[in-house]
Chain A
Amino acid sequence: MNSFELLNRRDLLKLSAVGVMAGSSSGWLLPRVAYAQERRSERSKACIMLHMQGGVSQHHTFTVPEYRAQNSQIQTALPGVLFCEYFPRLAARMGDICLIRGMSTGNSVHERARVLMHTGYNPNGTVAYPSIGNVASSELGAADTELPNFVNIYGGSDGLGSGPLHRSAPAYLGPRHAPVPVNDPARGMENLRAAVPLDQFDSGAALLNDFEAMSQAQRPSTAAAAHQANLRRAVQLMHSDRMRAFESEREPAVIRNGYGPTQFGRSLLLARRLVEAGVPFVEITLDGWDDHGGAVNNIRRRAQYLDPSISFLLDDLKQRGLFDSTLVVFMSEFGRTPQLAESGYNQTLGAGHYANAWTTWLAGAGVRGGRVIGRVDHRGGAVTDRPVSAQDFLATMCHALQIDYRKEYMTREGRPMTFLGASARPVQEAF
Chain B
Amino acid sequence: MMARHLGALSLLLAWALTASAGGKAGPTFETDVLPILNAHCLQCHGGVHQKNDLDLRTMSSALKGGKSGSVIVPGKPDESLLWKKIARDEMPKTDNKISETNKKIIRAWIAAGAPGRKNDRTIDLARPARMPAEVARIIDQEINSKLVAAKIPASSRATDAEFLRRTYLDITGKPPTVATTKAFLADSDSERRGKLVDKLLASPEYGQHFAERWLNVFRQMAVIEREWEPEPFLGWLGARFNAGKGWDSTVRDMIAVSGSFAENPQAAYYYYNADMQGKFEPKIMVGNLSQVFLGVQLQCAECHNHPFSDYKQKDFWGLAAFFSITSTPNNPPDTRGVRDRLPKQAPKPGTQVIVTIPQGEARNAGTKVRAKFLKGEEPELDAGASFRPALANWLTSKENRLFARASVNRLWAQLFGRGFVNPLNDFGDHNAPSHPELLESLTDEFIVSGFDYKHLIRCICLSEAYQRTTHVVKGNEVPEAEPLFARMTSKVLPPEELYDALCVALEVPEIAPPVDPKKKGNKKVNPKAPPPPTSRFLFVKFFRNPGDVDEPTELKLGVPHVLKMMNEANFNTGGNLVTRVMKSTKAPEEAIDELFLAVLARRPSSVERERFLAFASRQKSAEEAYRRIVWVLINSSEFVLNN
Residue numbers of A with Cβ under 8 A of B are 109, 111-112, 115, 123-126, 128, 148, 164, 167, 169-171, 175-176, 178, 180-181, 189-196, 200-201, 203-204, 207-208, 210-212, 214-216, 218-224, 226-228, 230-231, 233-234, 237-238, 412-415
Contact = CB atoms under 8 A, between A and B. Distances in A.
A290 to B, nearest CB: 16
Given A125-B287, A221-B490, A191 B567 contact: yes
B632 interface: yes
A180 B608 CA distance: 36
B223 interface: yes
Contacts of A189: 560, 563
Nearest to B477: A220
A352 to B, nearest CB: 17
B11 interface: no
Contacts of A167: 225, 546-547
B562 interface: yes
Contacts of A216: 637-638
A322 to B, nearest CB: 26
Contacts of A413: 297, 300, 423, 426
Given A126-B287, A211-B608, A223 B567 contact: no
Contacts of A207: 611-612, 615, 628-629, 632
B300 to A, nearest CB: 8
A215 B566 contact: no
B538 to A, nearest CB: 13
Contacts of B590: none
B461 to A, nearest CB: 20
A226 B636 CA distance: 12
Nearest to B567: A191
A190 B563 contact: yes
A112 B632 contact: no
Given A126-B287, A222-B554, A231 B562 contact: yes
A227 B638 CA distance: 10
A110 B562 CA distance: 34
B376 interface: no
A190 B423 contact: no
A201 B561 CA distance: 17
A194 B571 CA distance: 11
20 contacts: A126-B300, A167-B546, A178-B558, A180-B558, A190-B560, A191-B560, A191-B566, A192-B563, A196-B572, A200-B628, A203-B628, A204-B628, A204-B631, A211-B608, A223-B555, A224-B641, A227-B640, A227-B641, A230-B562, A237-B563
Given A123-B276, A216-B637, A219-B490, A191 B563 contact: yes
B632 A125 contact: no
Contacts of A238: 563, 567
Contact of B566 (A115, A194, A414): A194
Interface of B: 223-225, 227, 275-277, 281, 283-284, 287, 297, 299-300, 302, 307-308, 361, 423, 426, 469-472, 477, 489-492, 545-548, 553-564, 566-569, 571-572, 605, 607-608, 611-612, 615, 618, 624, 628-629, 631-633, 635-638, 640-641, 643
Given A109-B277, A112-B276, A234-B563, 16 more contacts: A169-B546, A189-B560, A192-B563, A195-B568, A207-B615, A208-B631, A208-B635, A212-B637, A218-B471, A219-B469, A222-B553, A223-B553, A226-B557, A227-B640, A234-B562, A415-B300
Contacts of A170: 547
Contacts of B555: 222-223, 226-227, 230
Contacts of A126: 287, 299-300, 302
Contact of B641 (A195, A218, A221, A231): A221
Given A195-B569, A200-B628, A228-B637, A111 B224 contact: yes
Contacts of A193: 567
Nearest to A192: B563
A124 B361 contact: yes
Nearest to A178: B545
Contacts of A218: 471-472
Contact of A195 (B562, B572, B624, B640): B572
Contacts of B640: 227
A125 B608 contact: no
A31 B336 CA distance: 65
Contacts of A192: 563, 567
Contacts of B612: 207
B45 to A, nearest CB: 16
Given A208-B632, A210-B611, A125 B281 contact: yes
Contact of A223 (B281, B490, B607, B611): B490
Nearest to B572: A195
Contacts of A212: 636-637
Contacts of B553: 221-223
Contacts of A222: 553-555
Contacts of B562: 227, 230-231, 233-234
A338 B477 CA distance: 67
Contacts of A196: 572
Contacts of A211: 608, 611, 632-633, 636
Contacts of B607: 214
Contacts of B491: 223
